[in-house]
Amino acid sequence: MNKNSNTYIISYAIIMVVVVASVLSIAALSLQPLQEANVIIEKKTDILVSIGQGGGIDDAENKTQFVEEQYTKFITDSYAVNVDGAKVDGADAFKILTNLKSEYDKPVAERNLPVFVSKSETGEMLYVLPLWGKGLWGPVWGYISLKEDLTTVSGVVFGHKSETPGLGAEIATPAFEDAFKNKLVQWNGSDVKFSVLKGAGSSKGNDNAVDAITGGTITCRGVESMLQVCLDGYEKFILEQRAETKNINN
């Protein structure tokens, strides 16, 4: 093979690399709006599930439309609060939610934390607090909904990026999530807001804890830490809301 042939092959290879890279870049850009829309629907779905709504999503003919309708129906308010418990004027709770990690990368005093409020057809109020933390192999996240007393857990939803299947990944299963229902969050300056205890049956008789997943100890520690850090940020807001509710009821 002569020198000209080698030059031609190299030039052709370079051109093909450029063409393929361009095609992939165009494809990625064209898919970006769809991917962003899917992320929004996923987050709205998780918020709904945390308050016990959204049933029938899998059977819906148009999942996006179904979720949007359910979200509009059941999520009646949303806002962001700072660590002093005050609402942040002009803050978009859902926009903050779509990049929650960046809020937890900030110093504590600078964080704006989203709150989603649901009012059921019977008038029951539920408060959904998004969560963000670290598992064994990557990020973990979730949503915890609190009943009107702002202490009793109505439901939780957890997710993860790369926890071990059959072990840490079990945090995102009903078997683990259901254990949180009707448990209590410890406020009033408690060092631990909620515990995830190692050992089957360890949480028996403990209103502020659930059992960790067998074989998923490190991931469960991540969940416990996530609950502690995130709930700490909401504590002043929660205590103020509870005081307001008590005054209204009196």
Cα 111-112-113 angle, rounded to 5 deg: 110
Cα 188-193-199 angle, rounded to 5 deg: 145
Which of 210, 46, 10 lies closest to 128, judged by CA?
A: 46
Mean pLDDT of 195-209: 94
Which helix or strand (DSSP H or E) is residue 79 part of? strand 75-81
pLDDT digits (tens, 9 = 90+) for 42-66: 999 999 999 999 888 888 889 999 9
Look over the chain and give the mean of its residue pLDDT values, rounded to a whole number. 89
Mean pLDDT of 200-226: 96
Residue 250 has pLDDT above 60, yes or no: no
Distances (CA, A) of 199 to 2, 61, 113, 213, 217: 72, 43, 33, 8, 9
Please state, for a pLDDT cut of 90, what percent of the chain lies above it: 72
The whole-number pLDDT of residue 129 equals 98
Top pLDDT among 188 and 112 is at: 112
The whole-number pLDDT of residue 33 equals 57
The whole-number pLDDT of residue 51 equals 96
What residue segments make up the domains of the chain, in order of their start?
76-249
Residue 90 has pLDDT above 80, yes or no: yes
Top pLDDT among 151 and 11 is at: 151
Residue 224 has pLDDT above 90, yes or no: yes
Residue 1 has pLDDT above 60, yes or no: no
